[in-house]
C-alpha cells in the first residue's frame, strides 16, 4: 500500500471511532496554504481538531512523536482559519490519534484528547 492509502485507512478508522463516541464529523482534510487538519469533529460544545498519524508496526518514530512543534503550529494556524471560515461558539481542543496498520488491517489505536494546546 502507498502512503496515501495507509493514511486514509487510519483517518477512516479514527473518524469511525469518533462517530461511535458520539461526535459529529464536521470536516475531513481541511486545507489551507501550508496546513491541513485531518478530522474536525464536534460534541458537547467542543470542537476537536484531530491530527491522525498512521504507521506500520514498530516504526522508527511513533505517531505522537511525529507531531513536531512545527506541525503543531501549522495545525493551530489551520484551526484558526477554519474558525474564521466556519464561525462557531465551540471550545477548541487539539487531539491526536496514532493508528498502527499491518497490511490492510488496523492492529493498534491510541487516541489522546488535549494532546497539545495553542500555548505550545
CA dihedral 41, 16, 61, 58 (to 10 degrees): 170
Q: Which domains does the chain have, with CATH numbers?
A: 3-116 (3.40.1350.10)
Residues in the chain: 120
Query: Do 23 and 42 form a contact (C-beta atoms < 8 A)?
Result: yes
CA dihedral 93, 73, 35, 8 (to 10 degrees): -60
Provide the whole-model pTM: 0.92
What is the reported pLDDT for 63? Answer: 64
What is the reported pLDDT for 118? Answer: 81
What is the reported pLDDT for 6? Answer: 84
For residue 87, count other CB atoms closer than 10 A to its CB: 7
What is the reported pLDDT for 120? Answer: 56
Helix (H) or strand (E) holding 107: strand 105-116
Which pLDDT tens digit goes with each residue over 88-116? 999 999 999 999 998 889 999 999 999 99
Amino acid at each position: 500500500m502507498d502512503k496515501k492509502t495507509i493514511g486514509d485507512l487510519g483517518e477512516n478508522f479514527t473518524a469511525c471511532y469518533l462517530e461511535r463516541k458520539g461526535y459529529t464529523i464536521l470536516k475531513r482534510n481541511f486545507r489551507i496554504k501550508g496546513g491541513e487538519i485531518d478530522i474536525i469533529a464536534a460534541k458537547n460544545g467542543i470542537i476537536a481538531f484531530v491530527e491522525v498519524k498512521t504507521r506500520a508496526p514498530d516504526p522508527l518514530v511513533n505517531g505522537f512523536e511525529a507531531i513536531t512543534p512545527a506541525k503543531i503550529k501549522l495545525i493551530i494556524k489551520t484551526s484558526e482559519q477554519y474558525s474564521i471560515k466556519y464561525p462557531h461558539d465551540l471550545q477548541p481542543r487539539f487531539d491526536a490519534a496514532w493508528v498502527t496498520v499491518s497490511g490492510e488491517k488496523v492492529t493498534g489505536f491510541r487516541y489522546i484528547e488535549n494532546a497539545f494546546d495553542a500555548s505550545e
